Amino acid sequence: MKKSTVVSVIGLLAMFVAFVLFQTWPLVLFGTVKLTDVLTLVGGLMFIIPVYLDSVKRKRADNAPNPVVWSTLPPIGMAVVCVGILMPNSLTFFHLFSLPDVFYLVGCLMMLPIFLYPMSGLERAELEETVEEEVDEATDSTPAADTKRL
């Protein structure tokens, strides 16, 4: 098993523990930051950073267009989500939404290029596999005796 997979699984477990502890008595560590906030931050970053690094490695190998989009937006999105987690929920955005929720939404949208960019990457990989299979079938079915003609 790859090291990045192990780190991601540990991060998921930390987020699960934070989810389970969310409704328990809040343990305030520093001001408004609770134990569940810390577990969510650590677990979320442990989960997403290996996925992000694998994504960047794969996209560099494929020469994906617009490297600024898929290499800089996700880390900024991670930072925005972290700020949103550390904010107190009493802050509002135009008295309609909780400001941390706006930060979560914007941060998650900024992290979407990890998974969804470029859109044609999956189609290209499937097309390459199909072409390779057809070439293999064509070379296997060509009889060696027919190559000599008189």
Q: What is the mean pLDDT of the chain?
A: 83
Confidence of residue 59 (pLDDT cuts 50, 70, 90): confident
The secondary structure of residue 87, as a DSSP letter, is: S
Alpha-carbon distances of 144 from 35, 135, 137, rounded to whole Å? 70, 16, 14
Confidence of residue 140 (pLDDT cuts 50, 70, 90): confident
Q: Has residue 30 got a pLDDT over 70?
A: no
Confidence of residue 105 (pLDDT cuts 50, 70, 90): very high
Q: Model-level pTM greater than 0.85?
A: no
For residue 99 the two structure tokens come to: 């400001």
Burial of 36 (0-12, 13-18, 19+ CB in 10 A): buried
